[in-house]
C-alpha cells in the first residue's frame, strides 16, 4: 500500500559508574578579622568509599501510519506500540581507619564495613492509536487513545486507558472572512481535552520492604539476625490521571511579520498518591498510600514575535510569558495538620501550591529594653535556650495577642503565630530575545527570568533543621558555619557598632546550632524574593560576503563570539534565584566559533 508508512525504532542506553573517594580528616581554623577565632575539626574520619553503579535502558517503538486524501478531505490513521525497560544495580562500600594514605580496603582497620546495595527494575508497555481529519485546511479534528501498563503497579491495577480529543478552526479560510490577507494572514482557534496517565511518581510502588539487621544480644553464643514486620501493600494503587482542558488561538498579522499564540488551560490531576485513613493500632502497621489526592492547576502560555526589515537593517524580537496557580482540592488530612507543610510532608484541602508558612519577625533586639519586653512573652515553644535570648537575636511578633510565641497545635484551627508568609510559585515566568543584522554583522540577545516567587531559608523548610547546608549557607552564623560567610553577610551581621544590620548576630562557641535554631526560624524577615532577570546569551557575528566565500568554494561562512550567563540581576542575597540554596553557581562562559556551509 503506497499510502502506508511503517517505522520502527530501537534504542539501548547503558550507564556505568565506578567512583572512589578517599576522605581524610583534617583540622582547620577560622579567622574573623577581630572577632574571636573558632577552632574545630571538620570533615570525616579517614575512610575509603567505593561506589559502583550500572544502568541499562531499552525502548522499542513501532508505528504504522496510513494517509489518504480526496477532494478537500484529508485523513490520517496511526497505530503503534511502545515498550520500555530499565534495570539499575548500585553498590557502595565504606570502611574507615586508614593506617596509610593508600586507597585500598586492605589498609583500613575499622571493625565495621558499611555495605549498601540497590537494585531496581521497571518496564512499561503501551498500545496507541490516533485519527486525524481536516477539510480544506479549515476544520481540523484529532482523536487519540492509549492503553498502557506499568510494572510499578500490581497485576490487577497495572493497565490504564487514556484518551484525548482536539479541534481547530482556521477562521481566515472562511468565505465570510473578508479581511485582507496582508492584515491577517492566518487565524486559528483551538480546543482540546484529554486524560493522560502518570506512573513516574516517587514512593508509589506497591511493594513491601524488609531490611534485616543483627541484634546486639547473643543466644547460644551467637548474635541473632532480625527481620522487622513487612510493610502493608496496596494492590489497588494505580496511575495518576491528569485531565487537561485547553483553549488557544494562533494569529499571524501584517504580512506574517507579527505572530501571536495564546493558550489557557485547566488541569485536574486525579488519583494522586496520598496518605490513607488509619486503622486501629491493633493492626500493628501503617496503612499504605492510596489514590485519594487531587490537584487543580490553571494557567496560561503566551508568545509574541515580530520580524521586519528596513533597508539593509533586519531585526526581530520575541516574548514568551507563562503563569500558573494550583490548589490542593482533595487530600486526607481530617485534623488540618500543618506540621511539615513547608517541607512537603503534609498538605491540606484548599492549600495553594507553594505556600510558605512562618513566623512574623518583629525586630533584632538591640537594647536591654528590647530583651526585657520580649521576656514578658512565653516563647518556650520557639526555644528553651533562654540565655541566648539577648541583644542581637530575633524577636518574633505575637500576632494573635495571646502572650505566647508559638505554633499553637500545628493545625489550621490553631496555628498560633504561624501564618502564610509567601509562596514559592512565581507570579510570572518570562523570556525574550532580540536580534538584528546589518551588512553581514549580526547581534543576538536572549534573556529570561521570573517575577515573584519566594524562597525560605528557615529551618522549618530545610528538612534537616540547622544542619541543612542551604540554611547555614544563607545565614552563615555560628560555629563551623562561619566558614560560609559571604561579603554581604560578613559585613551585615548585627554588632554593637551596626545595630541596623540585616542578619542576626553570629554566635561563636559550642552552641552555634542552638543559636541557629532560635534565630533561623522560617520568618518574614529572611523570606527571599526570587525575582530575577538573567542575560542568558549574547552573541555577535559576521557573515562574510558571498564574493569572498566563493573563492574558497564555500556558500556561507560566519564567525561569531558568544557569552553564556553574562549577568543576573536579582534580589536574592545569596545564591542562584533559579535554584536557591547551596548549589554550584552558574558559570559564565565565552566561546568563539565558525559556521561553514558548502
CA 344, CA 274: separation in Å to the nearest integer?
A: 12
E strand segments, 151-240: 159-170, 184-195, 213-219, 222-226
Cβ atoms of residues 80 and 92 within 8 Å: no
CA 398, CA 378: separation in Å to the nearest integer?
A: 10
CA 105, CA 548: separation in Å to the nearest integer?
A: 65
Nearest to 478 by CA among 27, 24, 40: 40
Positive or negative, the CA dihedral 565, 571, 574, 580 is: negative
Which three three-digit cell numbers place residue 220? 547460644
- Tens-level pLDDT at each residue, the chain (598 residues): 778 999 999 999 999 999 988 876 654 444 444 444 433 334 446 788 999 999 999 999 999 999 999 889 999 999 999 999 999 999 999 988 888 777 888 888 888 888 888 888 899 999 999 999 999 889 999 999 999 999 988 888 999 999 999 999 999 999 898 898 889 999 999 999 999 999 876 544 555 565 666 666 677 777 777 776 777 888 888 999 999 999 999 999 999 999 999 999 999 999 999 999 888 777 777 888 899 999 999 999 999 999 999 999 999 999 999 999 999 999 999 999 999 999 888 999 999 999 999 999 999 999 999 999 998 888 877 775 656 788 888 999 999 999 999 999 999 999 999 999 999 999 999 999 999 999 999 999 999 999 999 999 888 877 655 556 667 667 764 433 443 445 555 678 888 888 998 988 876 544 555 666 788 889 999 999 999 999 999 999 999 888 888 878 888 889 999 999 999 999 998 788 998 877 777 889 999 999 888 8
CA 165, CA 184: separation in Å to the nearest integer?
A: 28
**Beta-carbon count within 10 A of 27 CB:** 9
Burial class (CB in 10 A: 0-12, 13-18, 19+), 299: middle
Which three three-digit cell numbers place residue 504? 542576626
Q: C-alpha 190: how far from its chain's center?
A: 30
CA 80, CA 24: separation in Å to the nearest integer?
A: 55
CA 11, CA 9: separation in Å to the nearest integer?
A: 7
Cβ atoms of residues 38 and 80 within 8 Å: no
pLDDT, position 40:
37
CA 424, CA 357: separation in Å to the nearest integer?
A: 11
Eight-class DSSP state of 367: S
Nearest to 60 by CA among 99, 107, 8: 8
Nearest to 254 by CA among 182, 190, 319, 172: 182
> Could you give phi then psi for residue 461, rounded to 5 degrees?
-105, -5
Which three three-digit cell numbers place residue 18? 565506578
Nearest to 507 by CA among 350, 362, 390: 390
pLDDT, position 201:
66
Angle at 561 between CA 560 and CA 567, to 5 degrees: 145
CA 109, CA 117: separation in Å to the nearest integer?
A: 22
Nearest to 417 by CA among 397, 439, 388: 397
Burial class (CB in 10 A: 0-12, 13-18, 19+), 246: middle
CA 523, CA 249: separation in Å to the nearest integer?
A: 43
Q: What are the extents of the domains in the chain?
A: 1-122
CA 95, CA 98: separation in Å to the nearest integer?
A: 8
Q: Please count the helices (runs of H) and the strands (runs of E) in the chain.
A: 6, 26
Amino acid at each position: 500500500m503506497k499510502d502506508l508508512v511503517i517505522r520502527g525504532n530501537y534504542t539501548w542506553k547503558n550507564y556505568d559508574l565506578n567512583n572512589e573517594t578517599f576522605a581524610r580528616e583534617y583540622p582547620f581554623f577560622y579567622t574573623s578579622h577581630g572577632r574571636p577565632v573558632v577552632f574545630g575539626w571538620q570533615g570525616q574520619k579517614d575512610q575509603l568509599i567505593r561506589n559502583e553503579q550500572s544502568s541499562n535502558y531499552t525502548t522499542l517503538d513501532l508505528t504504522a501510519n496510513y494517509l489518504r486524501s480526496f477532494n478537500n478531505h484529508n485523513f490520517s490513521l496511526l497505530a503503534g506500540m511502545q515498550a520500555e525497560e530499565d534495570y539499575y544495580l548500585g553498590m557502595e562500600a565504606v570502611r574507615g581507619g586508614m593506617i596509610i594514605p593508600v586507597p585500598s580496603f586492605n589498609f583500613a582497620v575499622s571493625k565495621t564495613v558499611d555495605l549498601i546495595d540497590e537494585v531496581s527494575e521497571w518496564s512499561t508497555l503501551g498500545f496507541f492509536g490516533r485519527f486525524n481529519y481536516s477539510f480544506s485546511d479549515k476544520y481540523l479534528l484529532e482523536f487519540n487513545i492509549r492503553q498502557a501498563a506499568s510494572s510499578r503497579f500490581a497485576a490487577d491495577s497495572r493497565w490504564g486507558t487514556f484518551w484525548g480529543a482536539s479541534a481547530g478552526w482556521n477562521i481566515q479560510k472562511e468565505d465570510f472572512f473578508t479581511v485582507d490577507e496582508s492584515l491577517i494572514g492566518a487565524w486559528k482557534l483551538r480546543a482540546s481535552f484529554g486524560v493522560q496517565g502518570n506512573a513516574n511518581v516517587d514512593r508509589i510502588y506497591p511493594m513491601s520492604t524488609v531490611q534485616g539487621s543483627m541484634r546486639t544480644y547473643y543466644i547460644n553464643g551467637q548474635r541473632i539476625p532480625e527481620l522487622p514486620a513487612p510493610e502493608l501493600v496496596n494492590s489497588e494503587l494505580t496511575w495518576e490521571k491528569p485531565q487537561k482542558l485547553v483553549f488557544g488561538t494562533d494569529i499571524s498579522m501584517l504580512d506574517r511579520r507579527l505572530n501571536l499564540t495564546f493558550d489557557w488551560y485547566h488541569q485536574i490531576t486525579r488519583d494522586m498518591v496520598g496518605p490513607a485513613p488509619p486503622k486501629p493500632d491493633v493492626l500493628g502497621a501503617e496503612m499504605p498510600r492510596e489514590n485519594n489526592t487531587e490537584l487543580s492547576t490553571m494557567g496560561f502560555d503566551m508568545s509574541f514575535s515580530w520580524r521586519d526589515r528596513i533597508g539593509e537593517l533586519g531585526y526581530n524580537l520575541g516574548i514568551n510569558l507563562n503563569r500558573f496557580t494550583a490548589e490542593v482540592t482533595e487530600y486526607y488530612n481530617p485534623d488540618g495538620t500543618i506540621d511539615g507543610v513547608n517541607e512537603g510532608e503534609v498538605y491540606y484541602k484548599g492549600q495553594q501550591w507553594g505556600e510558605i508558612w512562618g513566623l512574623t519577625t518583629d525586630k533584632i533586639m538591640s537594647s536591654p529594653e528590647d530583651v526585657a519586653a520580649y521576656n514578658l512573652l512565653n516563647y518556650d515553644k520557639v526555644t528553651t535556650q533562654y540565655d541566648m535570648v539577648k541583644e542581637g537575636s530575633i524577636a518574633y511578633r505575637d500576632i494573635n495577642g495571646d502572650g505566647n510565641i508559638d505554633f499553637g497545635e500545628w493545625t489550621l484551627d490553631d496555628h498560633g503565630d504561624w501564618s502564610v508568609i509567601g509562596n514559592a510559585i512565581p507570579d510570572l515566568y518570562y523570556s525574550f530575545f532580540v536580534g538584528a543584522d546589518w551588512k553581514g554583522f549580526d547581534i543576538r540577545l536572549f534573556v529570561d527570568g521570573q517575577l515573584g516567587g519566594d524562597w525560605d531559608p528557615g529551618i522549618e523548610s530545610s528538612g534537616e533543621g540547622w544542619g541543612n547546608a542551604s540554611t547555614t549557607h544563607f545565614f552563615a552564623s555560628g560555629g563551623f558555619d562561619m566558614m560560609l560567610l559571604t561579603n554581604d553577610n560578613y559585613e551585615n551581621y548585627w554588632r554593637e557598632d551596626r545595630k541596623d544590620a540585616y542578619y542576626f548576630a553570629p554566635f561563636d562557641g559550642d552552641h552555634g546550632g542552638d543559636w541557629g535554631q532560635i534565630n533561623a526560624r522560617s520568618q518574614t524577615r529572611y523570606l527571599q524574593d526570587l525575582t530575577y532577570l538573567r542575560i542568558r546569551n549574547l552573541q555577535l557575528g559576521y557573515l562574510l560576503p558571498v564574493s569572498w566565500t566563493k573563492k574558497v568554494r564555500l556558500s556561507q561562512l560566519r564567525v561569531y563570539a558568544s557569552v553564556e550567563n553574562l549577568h543576573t540581576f536579582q534580589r536574592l542575597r545569596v545564591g542562584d534565584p533559579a535554584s536557591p540554596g547551596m548549589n554550584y553557581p552558574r558559570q559564565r562562559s565565552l566561546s568563539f566559533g565558525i559556521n561553514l556551509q558548502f
